Structure 1
């Protein structure tokens, strides 16, 4: 249904929410973005680009 580009946009949005909102941003990302992101069968695109602070 969704592809790599959609996954990348969702990952970047979640990262921005984390930077700006901290724990509150994480809560919003988990509630809003995570259900959609879990439907995409692609690994963390930020890890692949070396930008992920959550996984790496």
Structure 2
């Protein structure tokens, strides 16, 4: 349904929410972004680019 570029945008948006709003941003990302992101069969695109602080 969605591809790697969509996954990258969603991952970046979730990371931005976390940076700006902390735990509240995580809650929003998990409620809104996670259901769509889980449909994409691609690993964390931020890890692949060396920008992920959650999985590193």
Q: What is the aligned partner in structure 2 of residue 48 from structure 1?
A: 48
- The answer to whether structure 1 residue 13 and structure 2 residue 13 are counterparts is yes
- 4+ residue segments displaced more than 2 Å: none
1:22 Cα deviation (Å)?
Answer: 0.1
Count how many residue pairs are aligned between Structure 1 and Structure 2.
56
TM-score, with structure 2 as normaliser? 0.99
Structure 1 gap segments, 5+ residues each: none
Structure 2 gap segments, 5+ residues each: none
TM-score, with structure 1 as normaliser? 0.99
After superposition, the C-alpha distances for 1:1-56 in whole angstroms (9 at most, x for unaligned) are 00000000000000000000000000000000000000000000000000001111
CA-atom RMSD, angstroms? 0.2
